[in-house]
Amino acid sequence: MHKILLVEDDANINNMIFETLIKNDLSCTQAFSGSEAKLCVKNEHYDLILLDLMLPGICGDVFLKELRTYSKVPVIVVSAKDELDSKVDLLTTGADDYITKPFELKELVARVNVQLRRENNQTISILSCKDLKLSKNTFEVMLNDIEINMTKQEFKILELLLTYPNRVFSKQDIYDYAWDEYFIGEDKTINVHISNIRNKIKKITEDEYIETVWGVGFKLKL
């Protein structure tokens, strides 16, 4: 069942959309602020986000900009703002669709289904770089057809680097993705886990797969 995060501070609208999605066999988590939504995406995977803009805590456009630094989950903005410039700005920022309030529930469901179908077609279950392959479905890491046993955090670190091969990730970025705890800047946890991954790879090949960008963080070595 597809999982949707619904971010809307108006309880009546939130509940109305929630009930409609449930009736259409879609799993839905309700959030009533940008701050609550941020916690939800940190702790859970979603197939789609329905996002209001005028939110308490963190406003919708700021939430969207931050989300796009680490996630490609489809986002449909649901807002009372109907100005063309607002729609263009949000679509440029990273929204996948924009629907203006008031709206017909049938139209909302149709737009949701379009995004979910598109996401299904684009889902990549195998990530790879050179001779390294990572399966998101089976949680296996293979190098030269030899399986490497990874801890949960090591797997998540590799998954992040393989998903965005050209991006440099700070320790904060990596910690936020692989752990559900607050990051302490002085902590050596990231260095230790990166070292463990490198050592496991080195037992199979001399090729390096993780590059240190001094003063910034780590990236995939292509």
Handedness of CA 222, 67, 78, 85 (dihedral sign): negative
Say if residues 33 and 77 touch (Cβ distance below 8 Å).
no
Same domain, yes or no: 11 and 97: yes
Q: What is the pLDDT of residue 45?
A: 83
How far separated are the first and last CA of the chain, in Å rounded? 36
Same domain, yes or no: 139 and 205: yes
Over the chain (222 residues), what is each successive 10-residue block's mean pLDDT?
A: 92 96 94 95 90 93 90 89 76 88 92 84 74 87 92 93 90 84 68 95 96 93 90
pTM for the whole thing? Answer: 0.56
CA atoms of 168 and 161, how far apart (whole Å): 8
Same domain, yes or no: 114 and 130: no
Same domain, yes or no: 154 and 101: no
Mark which of 106, 122, 138 sits at the end of a domain: 122
Same domain, yes or no: 98 and 180: no
Mark which of 107, 122, 137 sits at the end of a domain: 122
Q: How far is CA 35 from CA 38, 40, 54, 62, 97, in A?
A: 5, 9, 12, 11, 22
3-state helix, strand, coil split of the chain in percent (to 5) is 40, 20, 35
Same domain, yes or no: 166 and 116: no
**Pairing label, strands 48-51, 75-79:** parallel
- CATH no. for residue 65? 3.40.50.2300
Same domain, yes or no: 23 and 94: yes
Domain that holds residue 17: 3-122
Total structural domains within the chain? 2
Q: What is the pLDDT of residue 125?
A: 74
Q: What is the pLDDT of residue 137?
A: 75
Same domain, yes or no: 192 and 101: no
